[in-house]
Amino acid sequence: MGEAIEVRNLWYIYPNGVVALKGINLEIRLGEKVAIVGPNGAGKSTLIKHFNGLLKPTKGVVRVFGVDTRKTTVATLARRIGIVFQNPYHQFFSEKVWDEVAFALKNFGFPEETIRHRVTKVLRLFDLYDYADRSPFTLSSGEMRRLAMASILAYDPDIIVFDEPTVGQDRFHKEKIREYIKLLSSQGKTIILVTHDIDFVVEEFDRLIVMSEGRIIADGAPREILYNEEILTKASLILPQIPRLVKYSEIPFLLKHKPLTEDELLIAVLGILRGDGGRC
Amino acid sequence: MLSLVSSVYEIFVFRKKAKLLYNIDPRVKMVQLIVTLIAIALTTNLILQLFIMAYLIAFTVIGADVRRILRSIRTILKMLIMFYIIIYVVNAFPQIVNLNVAFQSLIAIFRFFMLIYSFSLFFTTTQLDDLAQSLCKLKVPYHIAFTLTLSVRFIPTVAKDFLTVYDSQRARGLEMEKGSFLKRVKKFLALLIPVFIVSFLRVDRIAEALESRAFGLVKNRTFLYEVKVGLKDIIFLVVAITPLLTILYLQYYPIYF
Ligand SMILES: Nc1ncnc2c1ncn2[C@@H]1O[C@H](COP(=O)(O)OP(=O)(O)OP(=O)(O)O)[C@@H](O)[C@H]1O
Ligand SMILES: [Mg+2]
CB contact under 8 A, B198 and A104: no
The beta-carbon neighbor of A92 closest among B3, B164, B194 is B194
From the CA of A41, the nearest ligand is 1
CA dist., res. B76 & res. B121, Å (int): 12
Confirm if B165 and B194 have CB atoms less than 8 A apart.
Answer: yes
Residue B167: its H or E element: helix B142-170
- Residue B225 above 90 pLDDT? no
How far is the centre of ligand 2, averaged over its atoms, from the C-alpha of A86 (Å)? Answer: 7
Q: Which residues, 6 or more positions from B73, have their beta carbon under 8 angstroms from its beta carbon?
A: B117
CA dist., res. B37 & res. B52, Å (int): 10
With a 6 Å cutoff on the Cβ, whether A43 touches ligand 1 is yes
Residue A13 in contact with partner chain B when CB distance is under 8 A = no
With a 6 Å cutoff on the Cβ, whether A38 touches ligand 1 is yes
Radius of gyration for the alpha carbons in chain B, expressed in angstroms and rounded:
22
pLDDT reported for residue A276: 64
pLDDT reported for residue B140: 82
Q: Nearest C-alpha of chain B: how many angstroms from A17?
A: 10
- pLDDT bin (cut points 50, 70, 90) of residue B6 is low
CA dist., res. B200 & res. B8, Å (int): 20
Ligand 2 ion: Cβ-proximal residues, 5 Å cutoff: A 45
CB contact under 8 A, A107 and B168: no
The beta-carbon neighbor of B172 closest among A16, A78, A137 is A78
Which of B134, B127, B130, B153 lies closest to B206 in space, CA to CA?
Answer: B153
- Using alpha carbons only, give the angle A88, A92, A95 rounded to the nearest 5 degrees: 145
Q: Nearest C-alpha of chain B: how many angstroms from A21?
A: 19
Edge-to-edge strands of the sheet including A3-13? A19-29, A3-13, A59-64, A67-68
CB contact under 8 A, A78 and B173: yes
- Residues from chain B contacting residue A90 (CB–CB below 8 Å): 161, 164-165, 167-168, 194, 198
3-state secondary structure of B182: helix
Q: Nearest C-alpha of chain A: how many angstroms from B132?
A: 26
Work out which ligand 1 atom sits closest to the CA atom of A49: 18
CB contact under 8 A, B175 and A85: no
* CA-proximal residue: ligand 1, atom 2 (nearest): A14
Question: If you ran DSSP here, which 8-state letter would residue B206 be given?
Answer: H
pLDDT reported for residue B256: 66
Work out which ligand 1 atom sits closest to the CA atom of A41: 19
Q: Nearest C-alpha of chain B: how many angstroms from A96?
A: 13
pLDDT tens, residue by residue, B169-184: 998 888 877 777 788 8
Q: Which residues of B touch A (CB under 8 A)?
A: 3, 6-7, 9-10, 71, 161, 164-165, 167-175, 189-194, 197-198, 201
DSSP labels, A29-86: ETT-EEEEE--TTSSHHHHHHTTTTSS--SEEEEEETTEEGGGS-HHHHHHHEEEE-S
CA dist., res. A201 & res. A221, Å (int): 11
Amino acid at A81: I
Stretch B192-203: mean pLDDT: 85
Question: If you ran DSSP here, which 8-state letter would residue B71 be given?
Answer: H
With a 6 Å cutoff on the Cβ, whether A212 touches ligand 1 is no
- Residues from chain A contacting residue B76 (CB–CB below 8 Å): none
CA dist., res. A6 & res. A4, Å (int): 7
Work out which ligand 1 atom sits closest to the CA atom of A86: 27
Work out which ligand 1 atom sits closest to the CA atom of A39: 25
CA dist., res. B27 & res. B230, Å (int): 11
CA dist., res. A22 & res. A42, Å (int): 11
Q: Which residues, 6 or more positions from B192, have their beta carbon under 8 angstroms from its beta carbon?
A: A93
Suggest the residue from B15, B168, B199, B200 to mutate for an interface test with chain A (most A CBs closer than 10 A): B168
How far is the centre of ligand 2, averaged over its atoms, from the C-alpha of A45 (Å)? Answer: 4
From the CA of A39, the nearest ligand is 1
Peptide bond into A136 cis (omega under 30): no
* CA-proximal residue: ligand 1, atom 27 (nearest): A40
Work out which ligand 1 atom sits closest to the CA atom of B6: 1
CA dist., res. B202 & res. B204, Å (int): 5
Q: Which segments of chain A have a pLDDT < 70? A: 1-2, 250-256, 276-280
Can you give the pTM of this predicted structure?
0.73
Q: Percentage of chain B with pLDDT > 70? A: 93
Confirm if A147 and A126 have CB atoms less than 8 A apart.
Answer: yes
pLDDT tens, residue by residue, B66-110: 888 888 888 888 888 888 888 888 888 788 888 888 888 888 889
Q: Which residues, 6 or more positions from B72, have their beta carbon under 8 angstroms from its beta carbon?
A: B10, B11, B117, B120, B124
* CA-proximal residue: ligand 1, atom 7 (nearest): A14
CA dist., res. A236 & res. A230, Å (int): 10
- Is the model more confident about B203 or about A208? A208
From the CA of A18, the nearest ligand is 1
CB contact under 8 A, B171 and A74: yes
With a 6 Å cutoff on the Cβ, whether A266 touches ligand 1 is no
pLDDT reported for residue B2: 54
pLDDT reported for residue A44: 95
How far is the centre of ligand 1, averaged over its atoms, from the C-alpha of A43 (Å)? Answer: 6
Q: Nearest C-alpha of chain B: how many angstroms from A145?
A: 13
- By CA distance, what is B3's nearest residue in A? A15
Angle between helices B128-137 and B26-42 (to 10 degrees): 90
Residue A87 in contact with partner chain B when CB distance is under 8 A = yes
pLDDT tens, residue by residue, A35-65: 999 989 999 999 999 999 999 999 999 999 9
